[in-house]
Amino acid sequence: MVTEKECLDLIAELDSTKRTFAEYISVLFKDKLIEIYVGDSYENISLDQQSSQYPAVFCGKVIGAYKECLILSSIYIKDKQVSLGKLMFINERGIRTLSEVDEKGKLQDLFLSSADSTKIKKLLGT
């Protein structure tokens, strides 16, 4: 799992270079499984007076980057089988957010409503 210190150390190391966001991500998450949200929804569910959108994400292992292009060995589902290995090339400008796949939850769990803000404040003790 990538730590805050690793993120900050890499920022300091690459600060004087002309590295792109995609290149930074490729170094920080090399050979790690990540999920990337590009701003779209894969499903919209509407019930009477409530509507829910589920964010669309791509998952894959970081292979590398070339300039502004992040390269993943992506995860895909075909015939109900989960597979890894389809190469995906993502322009860094299309990435809204990304996260390492780990035991701390999925990217969808990070999307909160404003109603959660008071719970968060209590949790953090501020």
pLDDT in tens, 6-27: 999 998 888 878 889 999 999 9
Instruction: Give the confidence band of 43 by pLDDT, cuts at 50, 70, 90.
Output: low
Query: Element (H or E) spanning 7, and its range?
Result: helix 4-14
What confidence tens digit (pLDDT) does each residue in 53-68 have? 777 789 999 999 999 9
4-124 carries CATH number 2.30.30.100: yes
Burial class (CB in 10 A: 0-12, 13-18, 19+), 33: middle
Q: Are 92 and 68 in contact (CB under 8 A)?
A: yes
Residue 36 · residue 62 · CB < 8 Å: no
C-alpha R_g of the chain: 17
- The ranges assigned to domains in the chain are 4-124
